[in-house]
Structure 1
Amino acid sequence: MRRDRRGEMDSKPTSASFARYERLTRHSEFARVYAHGEKHISSSVILYSFIVCQRPYRRLGVVVSKKVGNAVTRNRCKRVIREIFRTHKAWFPQGADLVVIVRRAMVNKPYQTVEEELCRIFHP
């Protein structure tokens, strides 16, 4: 719940958003996840996860190489991954730092297929 301009409580839950504090932004944060995190591989993505127990929230970083496609394609891949993270935060453990590396195979896959692959990674 949050307050609107008049100070009244808004009925929209804030947990469905993708806030700035839920993003990995610095090179050092990505490097720590690569060095100490667990690696999970699927046909569409490579996912690194590193649990930091002090935080009550999860953070996400998305990496898409130029080998995947042009800017439009890369940005679409990033939007899909962020949307899956935003709508299914409960899949990921509290305090987790996640780095998703998009593979070329994701470009031709529909949203539901990528969503199912990420679900299988965390719920085998």
Structure 2
Amino acid sequence: MNKKYRLRNNMEFKKVYNGRKNYWNRNLILYIRRNGLDNSRVGYSITKKIGNSVVRNKVRRRMKEIYRLNFHNIKEGYDLIFIPKKNVVDISYKELESAMLHLLKLSGLLKN
């Protein structure tokens, strides 16, 4: 994914966290904030509580792929941060996709 679609440094993440608009379900937490740009940017924050680096990277790759496939259905002009919870390690790809889309729908960011 192109760099203009990603949150890349700590200050960008802190701005979204301080915006304090968040949604959650059993598997994920989503923080959102308007960014005033023509595109939406996304970041992923995966703590060491999830598992070792292999597990964390697997979860991050899955989340990035789900976002990439659904990128065209997400409204522009927002910064998003996805944070997985501990039980996300044990769920399937389809369940993770369902959880991410559920949060996007709850937040009103899905176009459909």
Bin of the TM-score, shorter chain as denominator length: 0.7 to 0.9
CA RMSD of aligned residues (A): 1.3
Aligned residues: 106
Cα displacement (A) at 1:25: 1.1
- Unaligned runs of 5+ residues in structure 2 are 107-112
Q: How does 1:82-101 map to 2 (within 5 A)?
A: 82-101=64-83
- Give the ranges of 4+ consecutive aligned residues of structure 1 lying more than 6 Å apart after TM superposition: none
- Unaligned runs of 5+ residues in structure 1 are 1-17
Matched residue, 1:62: 44
Instruction: Specify the SS of the correspondent of 1:69.
Output: coil
CA distance, structure 1, for counterparts of residue 98 and residue 90 of structure 2: 15
Deviation string for 1:36-66 (max 9, x for gaps)? 141011111111011223x221111101111
Query: Please, what TM-score do these two structures have when normalized by structure 1?
Result: 0.79
Deviation string for 1:42-91 (max 9, x for gaps)? 111111011223x2211111011111001100000110111111110134
Aligned residue among 107, 112, 122 for 2:89: 107
User: Is residue 32 from structure 1 mapped to residue 9 from structure 2 by the alignment?
Assistant: no
Query: Please, what TM-score do these two structures have when normalized by structure 2?
Result: 0.87
Identity %: 27
Task: Report which structure shows greater RCO (CA 8 Å, sep ≥6).
Answer: 2
